[in-house]
Amino acid sequence: MTDENVVYVGNKPPMSYVLAVTTQFNTGTSEVVLKARGKAISRAVDVAEIVRNRFIPEAQVASITTGTEELPRKEGGTTNTSTIEIVLKK
Amino acid sequence: MTDENVVYVGNKPPMSYVLAVTTQFNTGTSEVVLKARGKAISRAVDVAEIVRNRFIPEAQVASITTGTEELPRKEGGTTNTSTIEIVLKK
């Protein structure tokens, strides 16, 4: 899989990511991966649910995996952040 | 599975839920389910990651499922909220 199919979910309103995912599916992609970190994780789940319930009913959650990333802190040292990866397939 | 094994993740600090999960595993339970809604979803993922990385290394994520719940609004009508269910097993 190439990076083209990845949508990084950040702090924008959920609908901008919903649009990105829907556009990818509508251009013939059969798999889109949502990735998010920290507080954006809830938003990534929202995006997956909105896509499935309102826009692409045939899309299914193929897998969800979570992980931990070490990010450097401004003050030095590192801080741990959770990550999520939601694979949508249709 | 009975409701005893379910930990509902809300707005408390993550460590209070980590403690709840760790306590359940240490009293002999082999499966604990984390449930959360809306913005608490990110915290539920944090709790699962902290339990696995720091407290119960043999715990694994058996499954993660997401869904949508319709909640009534004060002003009338309903609003959709995303949900997550993370099953941890050791």
pLDDT attached to residue B2: 55
For residue B66, which residues of chain A lie inside 8 Å, CB to CB? Answer: 45, 48-49, 61, 64, 86
Q: How do residues A19-42 score in pLDDT, each as one tens digit?
A: 999 999 999 999 999 999 999 999
pLDDT attached to residue A2: 55
Residues composing chain A: 90
Contact A42 B38 (CB under 8 A): yes
The domain that holds A16 is classified in CATH as 3.30.110.20
Q: The domain containing residue B56 runs over which residues?
A: 3-89
Q: How do residues B19-46 score in pLDDT, each as one tens digit?
A: 999 999 999 999 999 999 999 999 999 9
pLDDT attached to residue B3: 57
Min distance A52 CA to chain B CA atoms (Å)? 10
Of A42, A65, A66, the CB nearest to B82: A42
Min distance B7 CA to chain A CA atoms (Å)? 18
Based on the structure, what is the number of domains in chain A? 1
Contact B66 A66 (CB under 8 A): no
Confidence grade of residue A15 (pLDDT, cut at 50, 70, 90): very high
Which chain B residue lies closest to A41 (C-alpha atoms)? B42
Contact A68 B84 (CB under 8 A): no
Mean pLDDT value of segment A48-61: 96
What is the interface pTM, i.e. ipTM, of the complex? Answer: 0.90
- Other beta carbons within 10 angstroms of residue B75's beta carbon come to 6
Ordered DSSP codes for B38-68? TTHHHHHHHHHHHIIIII-TT-EEEEEEEEE
Mean pLDDT value of segment A69-80: 91
